[in-house]
Amino acid sequence: MIWKKKWNGRDATFRVSTIFFFLYLAGCVPTPSENASIPPKVTDLHSFFIPQQANKTYLWHFFFSTKDSAYFITYAGWDYTKTQRGVLPISHLGITDTLRKDSLTDEAFISDSIVIMYYGKAADSLTQTLILLHDTLQIGASWSAADNFITVNGTPISIKAKVMEYYTQTPSANTTYNDVFLISYTTTVKGSQIPLEPQYQNGSHIDKYFARNIGEILEIAKDTSGSTLWTNELVETRNR
């Protein structure tokens, strides 16, 4: 797989649900190529998140260790919800395994200036949140994605996001995407306790790739040495 027309910068966070099986990464990462023009500054953040179309469903493939799993994400409508940030229009994202036996619902606030993921109900003050996108997408932009994210074993961490790269065009899972940003989400552990999830251990990070008019297309988790922990890839968009 060749990723074309990359913008160099440098220096996602996907919650692994218990309904998913785990498996080892066999995916690929972008390779450098020549720059063509000045990379953009994007302020319409909603266009880089999952489209709010009830007739679409998105098939994802998750790889970790020697196993893999597949699951669907579906936009399931929205309503006004009271959150810690006030009453907001909250979108509902249904997540199900391919056998349709297990399911859960995550929620999101989507706007031009910020996209917030709620890993559970937005109305619940205990729900973990992550600021996926913030203000302006441009190489070098950074923000605090989470100040006090709590892992499975109760370890508090902070997560910092930074826009690392921009690609004018790139193929992934046999589909070509335009206007793709790479954002890296890096963990800092608070205290001496070690998170159970390897992607949340100190210095580990998740690289998330966001394409215009589709949202996330790829996630790659890496440890502090840069070794891949797992990958998560959008493989197909279907009509319901």
Q: What is the CATH number of the domain that holds 10?
A: 2.40.360
- As for how many domains the chain has, the answer is 1
Q: State which residues form the domain around 202.
A: 4-79+87-239
State the Cα–Cα distance between residues 104 and 141, nearest whole angstrom.
32
State the Cα–Cα distance between residues 59 and 79, nearest whole angstrom.
24
Q: What is the pLDDT along the chain (240 residues), one digit of tens a residue?
A: 334 434 444 333 334 333 333 333 334 555 444 444 567 899 999 999 988 887 789 999 999 987 789 999 999 899 999 998 899 999 999 999 877 677 899 999 999 999 999 999 999 999 999 999 999 999 999 999 999 999 999 999 999 999 999 999 998 888 999 999 999 999 999 999 999 999 999 999 999 999 999 999 999 999 999 999 999 999 999 887
Distances from the Cα of 235 to the Cα of 35, 71, 176, 189, 232, angstroms: 27, 10, 11, 32, 9
